[in-house]
Amino acid sequence: MQKLKTILQSKYLIICLILITLFKTIYVINNKIKTVYNGNETKIQGIINDINIEDNKLSIELISDEKIIVNYYIKNEQELNNIYNEYQLGEQIIVLGNLNKPIKNTIFNLFNYQKYLASKKIYWTFTANNIYHVSHQIPTMYKIKNLIIKRITSIKDVSSYLNTFILGNDNLLTNEVVASYRTNGISHLFAVSGMHITFFSSFLLLLLNKISKLKKLNYLIVILFLLLYMFLTGYSPSIIRSVMLFILCSINKLYNLNLKNINILITICSIMLFINPYYIYNLGFIFSFVVSFYLIIFSNLIKNINNYFGKIFITSLIAFLASIPILINNFFYINFISIFLNVIFVSFVSILIFPLSIITFIFPFLSPLLKILIIILENLSLFFSKITILKISLCHINLLIITIYYLIITIILKCFQSKKYYSIIPLIIIIFFHHNILYFDKSAMITMIDVGQGDSILIRLPYQKGNILIDTGGIVDYNQEWQKNKTTYSIAKDKLIPYLNSVGISKLDYLILSHGDYDHMGEAINLVNNFKIDKVIFNCGDLNELELDLINNLNEQNIPYYNCLQKISVANNSLFFLTTREYDNENDNSNVIYMKLNNYKFLFMGDSGIDKEKDILKKYALNQIDILKVGHHGSKTSSSKEFIDSINPKYSLISVGKNNRYKHPNDEVLETLVKSEIYRTDKNGSIMLKIIDNKLTIKTCLP
């Protein structure tokens, strides 16, 4: 035992663990994943491990030869109602359809679904056309989970929070409330993690110690319960960390190994990454270990505080500082008010709401009391989320800047131990500089943002002198009328605004709408309602219903708007609107915009067709265009050979949805553009053009 203690206490063992884990993580991530399936499978049988329904999509996590995500699109409301009653966890089903590789992020800096699934050891998705039951015989573990889900569902008024606190499933919480929790920096309270393990393990140990004096047996029973709980909560990285931490700390205590908590944490991290290196892409894993690491390293700061709320405040401060780089690169802002809000909400949730949720699960008649507390919680969160004075937007950062942040944060916390609180000043300086970094950026940037079958183009001028967005995109591929008002997805909220924030943009000088079609301006109202915009520009011609709705919204917010302009100037740069005449269709009335930036000539065609192209050639002397935004997504109604030969573009950018029903871009158009270098959002994802010192570089989100 003494030799074992010596080995486990050795710093060299920890160093070896770190190096071996690091080597394997780099090796696995940089090599192709070997999977059981080859991608040609059209029929798969497996056990339902998890179910989620969002809008008209049923998603099933299926355990077969390997785990996959099955997506099935619900045809009508009757089928939706049947599905709620038809499938249970643990049932065996057969799915017919096609395997697909999970999608990567097609917009720079945003969430990568493929890496997220890899962190769960899922490497394929399956689009199902039909689903058939094979067996209703359910393994015991799944029976237990189904009974818990059934029990939770029956307590209707508070079932969404019981799901969240007991099973770690927050899918039933409303988007607005979840967004407020994230803004306030308290969303960690609704993830199954250390709070749950501490509560359950402490309660069970207290109970068992009163029944039995056999300490080792009591700990063993608690560990077995926690292993079951890991299964019930879907083996999330944060719960695995917490359970493993409890197990190793219990062994440390029972056998007097005197291991340092930091060594135990590093050992757990190494084991988890050795088993699955893709955990490095899981946000819960990163938050859990980074924050835990700093809390352990600087635990003396917490121990030296005598009162309860003081301890929570210092804990909140350490956790906040430790999470700053993670927050920046995932949400593109930090909110200093969250340090103080955690003092309120941690106590409220951990002392009242969470324990009462467990009690309500056992005694449902307490649900009205829990509902009152939940209403108070949600309203408080929604109220505080509107206080943005201490919320600072910060653009995406690279590994070097992340390292600098953590170096400064570590020095600050070390100085705090000596009560040198002025050491926070360097962090404030770097955050201020980071927030205003675009004022020092001499590059011009134009990004064709992948919004599917639609258009959206960002123009960011050098030194933060102006930001212009041409079009917003819009969802246009609904097949079911019954679903149109149910979707929770928004291109503006889920794609455009996060991307704008990620590149340091918190305001648009102009929103230019090429024309009134939904795929070009369908998200304009969502964007205007959730992002600061100075001016909006419409095209020439009659206004349709979509444009009139937006104008009503602009009037309510006192945002000026214009239509049928000839030219706008931002700083020393001009955008020219190539007006010809008024047409009898919306596409030809598109704003066609010519811009010269650092000696590079850009032409944005909207959805203009061949007739307008002819009129443009008659009225304007255009030639040797460097970058062409191809008209109408590469449709055969645009990009005539005469027009393309005349302007002779060097690069052609096509915004088009993957596997779109219109078959865009047209083969003849691609042949016409063959002399130019073609980039397409369906193949390349978002396309970023940067001009620095008159040198153009092009980067695509997908290789």
Q: Could you report the per-residue pLDDT of 250-293, keeping only the tens digit for each?
A: 999 998 888 889 999 999 999 999 999 999 999 999 999 999 99
Which tokens hold the place of 512?
A: 């230019």
Q: Is the pLDDT of residue 9 over 70?
A: no
C-alpha to C-alpha distances, 47 to 91, 237, 407, 450, 492, nearest whole angstrom: 5, 22, 47, 35, 37
pLDDT of residue 6: 62
Alpha helix positions (H), 583-651: 610-619, 641-647
**Cβ-proximal residues to 12 (8 Å cutoff; 6+ apart), any chain:** none
Output the CA torsion 359→364→366→370 (10° steps): 80
pLDDT of residue 393: 94
* Over residues 307-314, mean pLDDT: 92
Q: Lowest-pLDDT range, 81-90, 195-204, 560-569, 620-629?
A: 81-90
pLDDT of residue 18: 81
Strand partners, 512: 470, 537
Q: What is the DSSP letter of 143?
A: H
* Over residues 136-147, mean pLDDT: 93
H or E element, residue 148: helix 140-154
Closest CA to 193 of 329, 346, 378, 81: 346
* Over residues 325-343, mean pLDDT: 96
pLDDT of residue 477: 45
Q: Lowest-pLDDT range, 190-204, 208-222, 475-489, 664-678?
A: 475-489
d(CA 263, CA 6): 13
What are residue 553's phi and psi, to 5 degrees?
A: -65, -40
Please confirm whether the linkage preceding 139 is cis (ω < 30° from 0).
no
pLDDT of residue 160: 94
pLDDT of residue 482: 34
Q: Lowest-pLDDT range, 96-100, 331-335, 478-482?
A: 478-482
* Over residues 98-110, mean pLDDT: 94
pLDDT of residue 481: 38
d(CA 451, CA 501): 16
In sign, the C-alpha dihedral spanning 399, 405, 406, 407 is: positive
**466 near 478, Cβ under 8 Å?**
no
C-alpha to C-alpha distances, 199 to 109, 174, 193, 311, 358, nearest whole angstrom: 37, 26, 10, 18, 10
pLDDT of residue 487: 52
Q: What is the DSSP letter of 475?
A: -
d(CA 120, CA 284): 12
Strand partners, 340: none
Largest CA-CA distance found in the chain, in angstroms, rounded: 96
In CATH, the architecture of 443-700 is: 4-Layer Sandwich (3.60)
In terms of pLDDT, which residue wins out, 258 or 2? Answer: 258
3-state secondary structure 280-313: HHCHHHHHHHHHHHHHHHCHHHHHCCCCHHHHHH
* Over residues 319-342, mean pLDDT: 96
The upper half-sphere exposure of residue 598, i.e. CA atoms within 13 Å in the direction of its Cβ, equals 18
Please confirm whether the linkage preceding 237 is cis (ω < 30° from 0).
no
Which tokens hold the place of 201?
A: 């393990």
Which tokens hold the place of 626?
A: 């460097």
Q: Is the pLDDT of residue 322 over 50?
A: yes
Q: For 411-431, write each residue's pLDDT tens digit.
A: 999 999 988 989 999 999 999
pLDDT band at residue 10, thresholds of 50, 70 and 90?
A: low
Which tokens hold the place of 381?
A: 């969160």
Share of residues in the chain with pLDDT > 90 (%): 81
pLDDT band at residue 12, thresholds of 50, 70 and 90?
A: low
Q: What is the DSSP letter of 66?
A: S
* Over residues 445-466, mean pLDDT: 96
pLDDT of residue 480: 37
* Over residues 389-394, mean pLDDT: 93
d(CA 559, CA 8): 65
Q: Is the pLDDT of residue 484 over 80?
A: no
Superfamily, domain 43-138: Nucleic acid-binding proteins (2.40.50.140)
Strands in 112-196 per DSSP E? 125-135
Which tokens hold the place of 88?
A: 């249970």
**306 near 370, Cβ under 8 Å?**
no
pLDDT band at residue 17, thresholds of 50, 70 and 90?
A: confident
Q: For 502-537, write each residue's pLDDT tens digit.
A: 999 999 999 999 999 999 999 999 999 999 999 999
d(CA 382, CA 241): 31
Q: Is the pLDDT of residue 478 over 50?
A: no
Q: For 26-45, write each residue's pLDDT tens digit.
A: 878 888 888 999 999 999 99
Rounded to the nearest angstrom, the gap between the alpha carbon of residue 402 and the centroid of all alpha carbons in its chain is 19
pTM: 0.93
d(CA 6, CA 284): 33
pLDDT of residue 86: 81
H or E element, residue 538: strand 532-538
H or E element, residue 83: helix 77-86
The boundaries of every CATH 3.60.15.10 domain in the chain are: 443-700
Q: For 542-562, write each residue's pLDDT tens digit.
A: 999 999 999 999 999 999 999
pLDDT of residue 2: 58
d(CA 693, CA 149): 60
* Over residues 230-259, mean pLDDT: 92
d(CA 189, CA 98): 38
In terms of pLDDT, which residue wins out, 8 or 685? Answer: 685
**Mean pLDDT for the chain?**
92
User: In angstroms, what is the C-alpha Rg of the chain?
Assistant: 28
Other Cβ atoms less than 10 A from the Cβ of 408: the count is 19
pLDDT band at residue 93, thresholds of 50, 70 and 90?
A: very high
**111 near 80, Cβ under 8 Å?**
no
Q: For 561-578, write each residue's pLDDT tens digit.
A: 999 999 999 988 999 999
